[in-house]
């Protein structure tokens, strides 16, 4: 079976996407939970340690509080409450923390620091998996044992207002609720007003036991403006006023109740220095946790400093406060200051219940639990507790009783701390079989791509895939039988749950047949290579030229990047790797330009590395004859590079200066956005531009960037597209002005009229119009007339539409990234790739390198926190899932997408050979498959690494997303190749 290398590569990448998806499903398994009936089945509480024949306390202790109000402020950092901003903008809360009846803590949230996993941690006390980053977009009902479900079972009446994630997690638990979407980040006023407007009515009523308020405005301000925005202070003042209202109402109601009320101020996660969240920086994981109640009265001079605790400790504390069982899967420990005002027997009872729950969880997850220090400490505590009970019932000496009780309490607290730490460190139960199957699929594809290089990069760019030979058929049948038998053995013998085994036999069998087919193709390719090697040894041919310096750089740079993924520091600071590679590439291109354009020692031009038999073409070029270059070298036939004599006027000096110009552009972009982990907190040019004091400078820079964009893009557009592009870029500036990011000379004041929705939709009209024009030209070139000029015009229209969309979605301080990116593309195409006669493979890899570098130039990193969620809501009045996800993904991967789009344009316009696009597609698929395949092996090996969840797992998600984009690019390459080769 004969296939073009582009079609072959596209099929390989699609198969690889399936393999990576299966691996991710095994690496990020959805926690196995029982059904609702068995999961929340009431169990009798652990009895008090027996002091003889039986225990005197076998029931749960009564509730400590009458009503509980939980105020969760999304993205509230600890320094917003306990730092200088808290003193300035939250004076009432600061007073309660420093002098009032309260207990304050700094609660550490584990990554991923996104809303849905953090809510689960707060109410269940367990540690959600990293896959919840993806599931955060559409939260399913929570079936795991939790405080909310226990409260409903106990007859507690609960009311909720705020983030509708709670409503999705608990669809039938609240007697009254009003949910607001958490993803429409452009709104930071109405989303909180919808919560506060219910307060006056609810606080006057007495028909509820638990009130939960989830405020989203602070998080939205962080996403759109960052933590240094002046809007932060106003929002904190608004939240302080809400706390005043709630606390005053609770204190007034306590006069009519026997038990005190409790007000809890907490956050799901913090906020990074860029305004995002999702990673593990200090600003993202440290959140305030404040318990306010009249039961916590302090004496004069009693200074309480916020202690560091775990966010998972809240579930156990709330359960004790409400008189509920502690959730079964909670790894948190009771916050003892909440109960230290109770009698000693009650204190020990609370601690014992928590210790019993943690010890049971340890027994279920650790086979050798008896050897664990925490379990041994618990047993010692239980024995001491039994002795204390005996003395207590005998009414022994009070001093001895207090001394022993203090010792038991200290022993329990040590045991709780050790048990909680041991359970928190327990690694996830990986689905090893699904991971192994996915890895095998990906590695088979990679080996097949590597073995296909000689044929795929040949002049015809075609491969002969042996799918119909008898030997292949026999080997395929035998391999399929072996793999199916192995699958049956694994799935019948494995007692643990496995996703791949849970699939239907038809689906699992299809995957096994796919693995067998890939294995047979690999074996056939190896056999053919071995036979070809023998033939070469019998009749050796003339050896070709050696590796050029540029080829060595590309090879070593690509392999060096793959190897660097084995270190967590290199993953955190991967942008440094790509900055180094593109800078080195510029220097290598500069050397190549000078080497090929300046005459050698004998007065003639130096030989191009591709020319093995002399420099006749270069000599002809020096004599003034224009070399014939119709793009054939992009299909695999190398020709001599042009000399300075072929460039008229001052253009030759531009050619010599072009590598230095590109190098200067890259250097200018580096200080624009600090990224990574080590230096992300340091101020950069982007922070300086986005501050309110430099709005004029940002306005000038944004306007200038938009002008440069128009000048670079319009040169190959039709007249209608030029007009649409000009109006669209003007609309981009007006959109940012409507949001208050930049200034308009003709507008006085900064009052927002439309919040940018009208202006953004105005731009979308022109984006769709330009994309429609490009699609029409492509269809016209394929259906009606096979005109390469029409096809090239259509491709450039599509590229222009993507540029306009990127200009709308990117933050205004990132518009120079887009403008300088297009400038580098123009300079490389006109003064590097054309004169130096680079082939399709080299051009493709250079596009890939620059695409990766520009991914980081725009401020991205391998942390989830740098994803600009606000880009997904540009022009949307409400949250619409599909457009929001698409726009967020496009804004995140603007660099790689635009460089891939330019690659298609360059090869389609400059090459008359149909093999160029095929070769480019194959190279693009290969260079993207190398890091993905290596990273799967790496993550499997390091799955017990200390930084597996904070560093390696986010990078794994980024690699999976990048491979998905690669698959789309390869499919588009293949479609363009079919159009290009149409007779």
> How far lies 185's CA from each of 177, 270, 857, in Å?
21, 16, 24
Single out the residue in 824, 840, 856 at which a domain terminates: 840
Residues 660, 805: one domain? yes
540: in domain: no
Say if CB 705 and CB 815 are below 8 A apart: yes
Among 379, 51, 80, 394, smallest CA distance to 229 is for 80
What is the structure's pLDDT at 744?
Answer: 82
Of 524, 519, 384, 536, the C-alpha closest to 440 is 519
Q: Report if residue 48 sits inside a domain.
A: no
As beta bridge partners, residue 462 has: 4
Lowest mean per-residue pLDDT among 226-235, 642-651, 735-744: 642-651
State the average pLDDT for the chain: 83
53-67, 256-270, 677-691, 938-952 — which one is most confidently predicted on average?
256-270
Average of pLDDT values for 527-553?
Answer: 62
| Whether 129 contacts 175, CB under 8 Å | no
Q: How confident is residue 747, by pLDDT bands cut at 50, 70 and 90?
A: low
Same domain assignment for residues 334 and 414: no
pLDDT at 950 over 50: yes
**Range 530-553 average pLDDT:** 60
> Within a domain: residue 304?
yes
pTM: 0.78
User: Strand, coil or helix: what is 178?
Assistant: strand
- Number of domains present in the structure of the chain: 4
Q: Which helix (H) or strand (E) holds 585?
A: helix 574-597
Q: Per the domain annotation, does 912 fall within a domain?
A: no
How high is the pLDDT of residue 34? 33
Query: Which H helix or E strand runs over 654?
Result: helix 651-669
Burial class (CB in 10 A: 0-12, 13-18, 19+), 608: buried
Are both 320 and 408 inside the same structural domain? no
Same domain, 327 and 352: no
Predicted local confidence at residue 621, as pLDDT: 31
- Which pLDDT value is given to residue 635? 45
Q: Read off the pLDDT band of 704 (50, 70, 90).
A: very high
Work out the average pLDDT over 723-738.
94
> In CATH, what number is assigned to the domain containing residue 190?
3.40.720.10
The mean pLDDT value for 83-87 works out to: 92
Query: Do 380 and 459 belong together in one domain?
Result: no
Domain boundary among 341, 361, 380: 341
Contact 284, 270 (CB under 8 A): yes
Among residues 840, 863, 894, the one where a domain terminates is 840
288 touches 268 (CB < 8 A): no
More confident residue, 400 or 895: 895
Q: Is residue 648 very low, low, confident or very high in pLDDT (cuts 50, 70, 90)?
A: low
pLDDT value at residue 33? 40
What's the mean pLDDT in 19-31? Answer: 80
89 occurs within a structural domain: yes
**What confidence tier does 183 reach under pLDDT thresholds 50, 70, 90?**
low
State residue 212's pLDDT score: 96
pLDDT given for residue 490 in this prediction? 87
DSSP-derived secondary structure letter, 786: -
Q: Strands 286-292, 102-108: parallel, antiparallel or unpaired by DSSP?
A: antiparallel
Interatomic CA distance for residues 661 and 209, integer angstroms? 67
Among 125-129, 201-205, 294-298, 318-322, the range scoring the smallest mean pLDDT is 125-129
Q: How confident is the model at residue 392 (pLDDT cuts 50, 70, 90)?
A: confident
pLDDT above 70 for 185:
no
Nearest-5° angle of CA 108, CA 114, CA 119?
A: 70
CA distances from 379 to 159, 372, 460 (A): 40, 11, 75
pLDDT tens digit sequence for 431-486: 888 999 999 999 999 999 998 888 888 777 777 776 666 556 778 888 889 999 99
How do residues 891-920 score in pLDDT, each as one tens digit?
Answer: 999 999 999 999 999 988 765 456 788 888
Tens digits of residue pLDDT in 659-669: 999 999 999 99
The residues facing 266 across adjacent strands are 72
Residues 414 and 440 placed together within one structural domain of the fold? no
Tell me if 319 is assigned to some domain: yes
- Min mean pLDDT across 101-105, 142-146, 406-410 is at 142-146
Confidence of residue 51 (pLDDT cuts 50, 70, 90): low
Q: Are 411 and 305 found together in one domain? A: no
Indicate whether 451 and 578 sit together in one domain: no
Predicted local confidence at residue 431, as pLDDT: 82
618, burial (CB in 10 Å: exposed 0-12, middle 13-18, buried 19+): buried
What digits encode the pLDDT tens for the residues 834-843?
Answer: 888 888 889 9
In a domain, 960, yes or no: no
Q: Is 900 left (phi over 0), alpha (psi -120 to 50) or beta?
A: alpha
Please tell me the predicted confidence (pLDDT) of residue 455: 83
**Are 419 and 448 within one domain?**
no
Confidence of residue 630 (pLDDT cuts 50, 70, 90): very low
Mean pLDDT over residues 387-393, rounded? 85
What pLDDT score does 307 carry?
92
Residues 197-250 pLDDT 10s: 999 999 988 889 999 999 999 988 888 777 888 889 999 999 999 999 999 999
Helix axes 815-828, 788-809, angle to 10 degrees: 160
Query: 287 is in which domain, residue-wise?
Result: 67-341
Task: Based on the fold, state whether residues 384 and 321 are members of the same structural domain.
Answer: no
617 — pLDDT class (breaks 50, 70, 90): very low
DSSP class per residue in 331-366: -----GGGTTTS-HHHHHHHHHHHHHHHHHHHHHH-
Closest C-alpha to 670, from 938, 859, 465, 947: 859
Please, which residues have CB within 8 angstroms of residue 723's CB and are 6 or more apart in sequence?
A: none
Cα separation of 255 and 616, whole Å? 102
- In this predicted structure, the answer to whether residue 774 has a pLDDT above a threshold of 60 is yes
Quick one: 587 and 502 in the same domain?
no
Q: Do 288 and 399 fall into the same domain?
A: no
Nearest-angstrom CA–CA distance, 978 and 782: 9
Q: Give the bridge partners for 72, in sequence order.
A: 214, 266
Q: Which of 133-147, 229-243, 294-308, 446-460 has the highest mean pLDDT?
A: 229-243
- 562-588 pLDDT, tens digit each: 999 988 889 989 999 999 999 999 999
- Of 298-312, 358-372, 487-501, where does the model show the most confidence? 298-312
């Amino acid at each position: 079976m004969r296939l073009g290398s582009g079609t072959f590569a596209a099929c390989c990448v699609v198969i690889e996407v399936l393999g990576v998806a299966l691996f991710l499903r095994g690496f990020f398994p959805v926690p196995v939970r029982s059904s609702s009936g068995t999961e929340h089945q009431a169990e009798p509480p652990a009895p008090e340690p027996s002091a003889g024949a039986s225990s005197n306390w076998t029931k749960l202790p009564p509730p400590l509080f009458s009503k509980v109000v939980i105020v969760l402020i999304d993205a509230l950092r600890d320094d917003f409450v306990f730092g200088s901003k808290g003193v300035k903008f939250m004076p009432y809360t600061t007073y309660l923390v420093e002098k009032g009846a309260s207990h304050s803590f700094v609660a550490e949230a584990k990554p991923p620091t996104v809303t849905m996993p953090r809510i689960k941690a707060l109410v269940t006390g367990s540690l959600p998996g990293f896959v919840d980053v993806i599931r955060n977009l559409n939260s399913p009902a929570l079936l795991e044992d939790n405080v909310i479900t226990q409260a409903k079972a106990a007859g507690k009446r609960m009311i909720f207002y705020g983030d509708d994630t709670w409503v999705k997690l608990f669809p039938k638990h609240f007697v009254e609720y009003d949910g607001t979407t958490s993803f429409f980040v452009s709104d930071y006023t109405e989303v909180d007003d919808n919560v506060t407007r219910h307060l006056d009515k609810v606080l006057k009523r007495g028909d509820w036991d638990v009130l939960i308020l989830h405020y989203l405005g602070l998080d939205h301000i962080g996403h759109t403006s960052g933590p240094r925005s002046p809007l932060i202070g106003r929002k904190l003042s608004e939240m302080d006023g809400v706390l005043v209202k709630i606390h005053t109402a609770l204190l007034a109601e306590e006069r009519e109740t026997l038990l005190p009320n409790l007000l809890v101020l907490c956050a799901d996660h913090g906020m990074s220095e860029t305004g995002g969240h999702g990673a593990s920086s200090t600003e993202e994981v440290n959140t305030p946790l404040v318990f306010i109640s009249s039961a916590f009265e302090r004496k004069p001079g009693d200074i309480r400093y916020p202690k560091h605790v775990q966010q998972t400790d809240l579930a156990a504390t709330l359960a004790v406060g409400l008189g509920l069982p502690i959730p079964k899967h909670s790894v948190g420990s009771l916050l003892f200051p909440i109960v230290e005002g109770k009698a000693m027997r009650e204190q020990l009872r609370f601690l014992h219940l928590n210790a019993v729950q943690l010890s049971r969880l340890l027994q279920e997850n650790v086979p050798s639990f008896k050897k664990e220090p925490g379990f041994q400490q618990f047993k010692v505590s239980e024995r001491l507790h039994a002795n204390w009970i005996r003395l207590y019932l005998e009414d022994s000496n009070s001093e001895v009783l207090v001394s022993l009780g203090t010792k038991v309490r200290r022993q329990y607290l040590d045991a709780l701390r050790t048990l909680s730490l041991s359970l928190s460190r327990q690694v996830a139960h990986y689905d090893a079989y699904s991971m192994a199957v996915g890895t095998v699929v990906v590695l088979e594809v990679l080996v097949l791509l590597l073995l296909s290089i000689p044929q795929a990069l040949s002049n015809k760019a075609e491969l002969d895939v042996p799918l119909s030979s008898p030997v292949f058929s026999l080997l395929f049948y035998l391999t399929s039988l072996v793999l199916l038998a192995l699958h049956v053995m694994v799935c019948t013998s494995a007692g643990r749950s496995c996703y791949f085994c849970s699939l239907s036999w038809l689906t699992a069998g299809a995957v096994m047949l796919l693995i067998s087919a890939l294995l047979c193709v690999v074996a056939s390719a190896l056999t053919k290579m071995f036979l070809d090697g023998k033939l070469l040894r019998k009749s050796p041919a003339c050896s070709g030229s050696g590796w050029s310096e540029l080829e060595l750089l590309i090879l070593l740079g690509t392999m060096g990047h793959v190897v660097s993924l084995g270190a967590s520091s290199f993953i955190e600071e991967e942008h440094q790797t790509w900055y180094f590679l593109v800078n080195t590439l510029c220097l290598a291109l500069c050397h190549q330009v000078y080497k090929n354009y300046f005459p050698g020692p004998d007065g003639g031009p130096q030989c191009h590395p591709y020319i093995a038999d002399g420099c006749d073409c270069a000599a002809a070029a020096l004599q003034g004859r224009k070399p014939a270059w119709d793009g054939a070298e992009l299909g695999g036939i190398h020709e001599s590079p042009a000399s300075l004599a072929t460039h008229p006027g001052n253009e030759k000096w531009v050619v010599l200066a072009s590598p230095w110009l590109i190098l200067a552009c890259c250097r200018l972009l580096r200080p624009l956005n600090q990224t990574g982990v080590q230096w992300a907190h340091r101020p950069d040019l982007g922070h300086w531009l986005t501050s309110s004091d430099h709005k004029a400078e940002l306005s000038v820079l944004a306007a200038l960037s938009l002008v440069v964009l128009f000048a670079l893009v319009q040169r190959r557009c039709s007249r209608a597209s030029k007009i649409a592009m000009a109006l669209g870029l003007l609309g981009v500036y007006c959109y940012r002005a409507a949001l208050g990011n930049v200034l308009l000379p003709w507008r006085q004041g900064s009052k927002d009229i439309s919040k940018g929705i009208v202006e953004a939709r105005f731009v979308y009209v022109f984006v769709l119009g330009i994309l429609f024009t490009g699609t029409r030209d492509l269809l016209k070139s394929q259906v009606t007339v096979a005109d390469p000029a029409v096809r090239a015009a259509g491709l450039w229209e599509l590229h222009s539409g993507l540029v306009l969309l990127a200009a709308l979605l990117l933050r205004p301080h990132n518009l120079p990234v887009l403008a300088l990116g297009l400038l580098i593309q123009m300079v490389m195409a006109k003064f590097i790739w054309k004169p130096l006669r680079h082939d399709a493979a080299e051009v493709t890899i250079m596009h890939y390198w620059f695409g990766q570098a520009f991914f980081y130039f725009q401020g991205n990193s391998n942390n989830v926190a740098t994803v600009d969620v606000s880009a997904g809501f540009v022009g949307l009045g409400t949250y619409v899932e599909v457009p929001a996800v698409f726009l967020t993904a496009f804004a995140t991967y603007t660099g790689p997408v635009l460089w891939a789009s330019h690659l298609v344009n360059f090869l389609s316009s400059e090459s008359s050979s149909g093999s160029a696009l095929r070769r480019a597609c194959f190279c693009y698929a290969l260079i993207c498959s190398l890091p993905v395949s290596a990273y799967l092996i790496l993550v499997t090996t390091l799955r017990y690494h200390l930084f597996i969840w904070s560093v390696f797992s986010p990078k794994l998600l980024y690699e999976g997303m990048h491979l998905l984009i690669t698959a789309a690019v390869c499919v588009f390459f293949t479609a363009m190749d079919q159009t290009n080769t149409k007779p």
